[in-house]
């Protein structure tokens, strides 16, 4: 990992590359609640342009479910790795998913009970996990994380901490494993991976990209990271992607 000041990515980084994009905090601003985000027509067109000019080698890798991302981007069809890599849907519509366990449902009920008496704490039911959001109640962070950790131990779930969220999900995959699986596909195997993300949940993908000869691009303030490059914020990320799309035309 590096904690030095990182340079911006070079303009030719996407030449002969496969592009992997986090969603919240990378392509769209993080909203107060998960359902408050919106996707502009400008972003949809940018993704279409990148997809066409990179011969289909563009994928979304998100903590959101495949269904959520597909609905938000509709009608743009991309390969999507959702639920932190636990489910992968290719652009042709085929989907690989695990089986939801009873432990997730039990944890969901416990977290809903916890949130019911704490205004601002939100519970997000996901196909293969549950998120406990406290962005609107930051004073609840310690209690939220402690409860999530206890439930993870009790039900054999993976605890994933992110920006103002504690998420419980099925073990066995992460954004790094999703990137590696997609890079093994014939259309990508001869290219180098480039992953863009903002959160600590993206570190596994940064590391995997570097391991395969590519690079990670951190979006947001400098911090300890596996990424090799950094851009300041979502507008900077979108601006760089637009310049890359124009250069690839």
Radius of gyration of the chain from its Cα atoms, rounded to whole angstroms: 18
The β-bridge partners of 96 are 88
- Is 233 among the residues known to form the active site? no
| Residue 73 to residue 118: CA distance in whole angstroms | 33
CB 90 within 8 A of CB 84: no
Closest C-alpha among 40, 98, 93, 52 to residue 70? 93
Q: Please state the φ and ψ torsions of residue 141, each to the nearest 5 degrees.
A: -55, -50
Dist. CA 52–CA 58, nearest whole Å? 9
Count helices and strands (H / E) in the chain: 7, 12
Query: Would you say 84 and 169 are in contact if contact means Cβ atoms under 8 Å apart?
Result: yes
Determine the Cα–Cα distance for residues 193 and 211; give it in Å rounded to an integer: 10
Q: Tell me the two tokens of residue 103.
A: 């432990």
**Catalytic residue chosen out of the listed positions 3, 12, 22, 105:** 22
Residue by residue, DSSP assigns 84-121 as: GGTEEE-TTS-EE-----HHHHHHHHHHHHHHHTSTT-
Active site residues: 22
């Amino acid at each position: 990992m590096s904690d030095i000041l990182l340079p911006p990515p070079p303009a030719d980084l996407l030449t002969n590359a496969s592009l992997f994009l986090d969603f919240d905090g990378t392509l769209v601003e993080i909203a107060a609640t998960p359902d408050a985000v919106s996707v502009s027509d400008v972003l949809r067109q940018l993704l279409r342009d990148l997809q066409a000019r990179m011969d289909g080698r563009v994928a979304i890798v998100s903590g959101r479910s495949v269904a959520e991302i597909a609905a938000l981007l509709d009608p743009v069809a991309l390969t999507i790795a959702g639920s932190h890599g636990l489910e992968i849907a290719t652009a042709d519509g085929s989907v690989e998913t695990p089986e939801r366990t009873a432990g997730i449902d039990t944890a969901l009920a416990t977290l809903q009970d916890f949130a019911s008496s704490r205004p601002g704490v939100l519970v997000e039911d996901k196909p293969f996990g549950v998120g406990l959001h406290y962005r609107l109640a930051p004073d609840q962070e310690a209690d939220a994380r402690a409860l999530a950790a206890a439930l993870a131990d009790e039900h054999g779930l993976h605890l994933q901490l992110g920006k103002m969220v504690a998420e419980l999900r099925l073990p066995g995959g992460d954004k790094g494993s999703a990137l590696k699986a997609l890079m093994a596909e014939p259309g990508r195997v001869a290219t180098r991976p480039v992953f863009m993300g903002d959160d600590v949940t993206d570190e596994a993908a940064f590391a995997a990209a570097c391991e395969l000869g590519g690079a990670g691009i951190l979006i947001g303030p400098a911090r300890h990271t596996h990424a090799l490059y950094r851009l300041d914020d979502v507008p900077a990320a979108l601006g760089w992607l637009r310049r890359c799309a124009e250069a690839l035309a």
